[in-house]
Chains A and B, each alone.
Chain A
């Protein structure tokens, strides 16, 4: 029976082997094109049109990807549409892509998908992928040849069944400035085995300010040689084996291709799946991830780095455009005034009219635009059918279809005008603003395109900044109801939310301002010595050590670090609670969750809560309402508290009493036993000595208040006094100060007895 089975299996295997070479030749190459980036970086434009249909040098982005796939020998492409799927499908149906010989494009539609992982799971269920496939998103521009990478992938696969993916990478300058200014992405660290080209480590969220990356010791132990790169760029083109899809199905928590899937595979050594890399040299490949890369890739196209996907080659039914001297591309039927100056590296679309004395340089103008006289356009992207009246100024902006700019309007660098916005006469749109006809959705119900929750943002940040901006935003959007775009203007200016104003420059079309550039280069100089440490104490996750104050905290032991962090978090939580009048029960809940995540005792909680309360008491000026708070980013800045005005002790006492009264319930919930109470006293003592010397003269009185409010029981205070009996003189300062009180307590207890 067993033998028979074995023989059957052998026969089947033999049959497969005999089929194999045949299969390889016959099996047409498939590709999955994700026509949705699952992010919100191109908002507000993407609220109205999917990202893949946004014009890139007057050709919808998806055409670059499809043209490349066709040229690379892919026979069948599955276009996965999610957001605005109707538009994508309509576009493809009317394009020439559906009628190509030897190249089929099929669409897969779904509406409730929020990540690339979900999309791949859905495709797996449909069972349409039979062999190796190319995984790419619809915003990638490339002219590389796939032949070699594909062959390498197949050969590896034959030898080692676990080699499931080949990732295409490209060399780039290691400097973070170039990376930032070219593609607006963070630095990427990769560890690659130089012999086999196997990818061993991948970290794209590395924050340069932290200055360290952390590799698993096993990585060094197991591999004879390993090369660590920070000069590679991920092209986001992957050649995958069908196993990849089933891996996504097995691990239903994989959402993001890189953050979850790649890192997940690299860490999980149970299945032993491997990812390899293929480096391309002279060919071009880049993904448009944000406005900055949109700008850069557009310029690369104009400079012909993406040849043959350039405007004057009709690679996808785009209109005939001619290349003239100094890199000027012009379509037919352009009306241009004699005095208009069209500078170099400019693309002008079909049927556009340009008025007299207008100056255009380094820009892309779409089809059917009307540009008045004395208009200045510099480094901008004007899409189709835009009307720009006389005397407007546009520098480094994106203007979508159907926008009307009334005479004299000015767009500052980094502005994005979404579809059909009207800018009023002489209105100046401030830098980096985004204007749309649609109102900004509130942060929490982004339904069209979800940015998958970014785990790396800490809770601290969430608790303080996010909520502040929330507050601002609601006020903004209520104001936005009245037109803010000058007389006759139509549209809403979106307030800047994610990342805040200071992050806007990173991802906008405007060039990086001088001061940011110097900042960047200084940051780079600071951590020239990039230490690659091998920390065994930390988990094997290979994540960055998350200490923002690496210089000071480096030699501290981890537990110490933890408690500092814990204290900070509790303080932040507490302050927020005060500020927003959160119910005590909720605060307790939050502090409890922090306690669990930091693995702290309730004594620690009590100490931390008490610490925050006392801090608040110091910072509350006079006895006025609580609200004007400054938040300290780190405990180290507490040194500065010496410089605070010396409060009248009565006032401070009053404040403290108020706060304790308000929040006693919170504090009490952690005072389960006498130990916690003692902890509070010790904490208070410590504070009086170190961080909040204002309290030292008030020690006894506040102790009394705490006793009055039933926060501290007499036993606790007495035991504290007893413990201090044997201590040094210097430690006894506060015991002595409260001697009277203790005396009184002792007597009282004796009386009771």
Chain B
């Protein structure tokens, strides 16, 4: 068994050095790491859940500090914390429900029953059950805290072990979810893309690609405009991939979106993160596209998975959550080295290059979110977030980012 701390610092250093990028990848790695943390966590005899929460939070803080821009890390950490709280409460509620009538053995039986129940529920591919439970408690904060104090004094010696196995199962489901979220999103393609439509997208998003391909596989025929922008020119990659799938694609520059938008039926884009107010953080250039779509009343659809749901609000966004990337993506250093010259007394270098990675698109410009658990409008995002994360986890997690 590798040392947990080594694993944590390994992922943290990867995040720090920007060697792991993209919300999907970071989410998956974080979830796997947290799974290992839970697995190796040494259970104290009492108050297992609280110490586990503490351990996960500590790891989470390290990872978030490593690269605050990758919001998916925080999302997963908070989600796992939420799962722990849920799991901690759920056997208890059962017990409260049964009014402690049964002995220890019976409790185990009950828990096992519940396991089977749950696994059957999750095979249906939805995680809706725990959120619902939480919703119950959120309306009853007093009872929730009461339950917690009760749990801390709990007398079930076997509970810790069971809690852990429950948790492992739940986190594994989460990992499974992350791995399959693309299919979940792609399933809804048929409902949104219609025959002979013209779709516009920007850059390269794996979700969008899967989404389009899913529609194509179901024999829908449509056309895709790919707005391709400097500095990354990721649209080239998408164009190639769509060509392989036999989809008709037209590449335009991202500065030409206003010219082309009148011919477009729908805009579909992928994003970096979905904020709590329903706005999104997305690759630079998306705001222009969103404005163009708004101007011409073209539906602006964002495909996002649940791990991109972020419980933060975009306050002072430009400074806090943007990543300034390398200027050499924009300018060839060699060509401009005489302009970027600090060694000459008369002119302190006048030429500077700023290369922000992200844009913020406000919720007013977004028509629909397509997630792996269904379609939502921007105004509903805060509800999803309440379902996915516990309110207790929000303040301490927000601290490193503010």
Contacts and interface: CB of A to CB of B under 8 A. Distances in A.
Q: Are A and B part of the same complex? A: yes
Nearest to A306: B326
Contacts of A517: 344-346
A305 B342 contact: no
A67 interface: yes
Interface string B313-346: 0000011000011111100111001101111111
Contacts, number: 103
Nearest to B322: A323
B26 to A, nearest CB: 15
Majority SS at the chain B contact face: loop
Best-surrounded residue of B327, B332, B342 (most CB of chain A within 10 A): B342
A305 B16 contact: no
Given A304-B324, A511-B344, A178 B338 contact: yes
Contact of B18 (A295, A313, A379): A313
Contacts of B65: 320
B338 A284 contact: no
A362 B348 contact: yes
A511 B345 contact: yes
Contact of A512 (B10, B17, B338, B343): B343
Interface in B253-267: none
Given A71-B17, A307-B326, A295 B319 contact: no
A84 B17 CA distance: 30
A181 B344 contact: yes
Nearest to B320: A322
Nearest to A231: B334
Contacts of B10: 101
Contacts of B326: 143, 304-308
A175 interface: yes
B66 interface: yes
A304 B354 CA distance: 9
A172 B334 contact: yes
Interface bin, chain A: 35 or more
Interface bin, chain B: 20 to 34
Interface string B158-182: 0000000000000000000000000
Interface in A536-567: none
Given A71-B17, A325-B319, A305 B343 contact: no
A514 B18 CA distance: 42
Interface in A288-309: 292, 295-296, 299-300, 303-308
Interface in B103-139: none
A180 interface: yes
B16 A315 contact: yes
Interface string B2-21: 00001000100100111100
Interface in A272-286: 281-284
A513 interface: yes
Contacts of A178: 337-338, 341
B322 to A, nearest CB: 9
Contacts of A101: 6, 10
A230 B325 CA distance: 31
Contacts of B337: 172-173, 178, 182
A216 B65 CA distance: 59
A153 interface: no
Interface string A165-182: 000001111010110111
Interface in A128-171: 143, 170-171
Contacts of B16: 313-315
B344 A512 contact: yes
Interface string B42-76: 00000000000000000000000110000000000
Interface string A318-335: 001011110100000000
Contact of A284 (B17, B328, B346, B348): B328
Given A282-B329, A282-B333, A325-B319, A513 B343 contact: no
A514 B345 contact: yes
A379 B318 CA distance: 27
A181 B327 contact: no
Given A101-B6, A327-B352, A182 B319 contact: no
A67 B18 CA distance: 12
Contacts of B230: none
Contacts of A379: 342, 348
B353 interface: yes
Contact of A182 (B13, B327, B343, B352): B343
Nearest to B332: A282
A96 to B, nearest CB: 9
B22 to A, nearest CB: 15
A286 B298 CA distance: 49
A178 B344 CA distance: 9
Nearest to B345: A511
A292 B344 CA distance: 11
A412 B139 CA distance: 68
Contacts of B353: 303
A165 B139 CA distance: 71
Interface in A573-609: none
Contact of B324 (A170, A180, A299, A323): A323
A295 B345 CA distance: 13
B338 to A, nearest CB: 5
Nearest to A184: B343
Given A101-B10, A327-B352, A171 B334 contact: yes
A177 B332 CA distance: 19
Contact of A295 (B6, B328, B343, B346): B343
B334 to A, nearest CB: 4
A393 to B, nearest CB: 17
B341 A181 contact: yes
A306 B324 CA distance: 12
A231 to B, nearest CB: 8
A322 B400 CA distance: 12
Contact of B17 (A181, A282, A313, A325): A313
Nearest to A508: B343
Best-surrounded residue of B10, B66, B318, B337 (most CB of chain A within 10 A): B337
B29 to A, nearest CB: 15
B334 A180 contact: no
Interface in A484-507: none
A305 B328 contact: yes
A505 to B, nearest CB: 10
Contacts of B17: 67, 71, 308, 313, 315
Contact of A514 (B66, B325, B346): B346
Nearest to A298: B342
B343 A314 contact: no
Contacts of B324: 304, 307, 312, 323
A292 B343 contact: yes
Contacts of B319: 322, 324-325
Contacts of A284: 328, 333
Contacts of A327: 352
B328 A282 contact: yes
A304 B343 CA distance: 18
Nearest to A283: B328
Interface in A507-535: 510-514, 517
Interface of A: 67, 71, 100-101, 143, 170-173, 175, 177-178, 180-182, 184, 281-284, 292, 295-296, 299-300, 303-308, 312-315, 320, 322-325, 327, 345, 362, 379, 510-514, 517
16 contacts: A143-B326, A172-B334, A177-B344, A180-B343, A181-B341, A295-B342, A299-B342, A307-B328, A315-B16, A322-B319, A324-B319, A512-B344, A512-B345, A514-B345, A514-B346, A517-B346
Given A172-B334, A517-B344, 19 more contacts: A100-B13, A284-B333, A292-B343, A295-B343, A296-B342, A300-B340, A305-B333, A307-B325, A307-B328, A308-B326, A315-B16, A315-B17, A345-B352, A362-B342, A511-B344, A511-B345, A512-B343, A514-B346, A517-B345
Interface of B: 6, 10, 13, 16-19, 65-66, 318-319, 324-329, 332-334, 337-338, 340-346, 348-349, 352-353, 355
**4 nearest CB pairs, A to B:** A181-B343, A307-B326, A511-B345, A171-B334
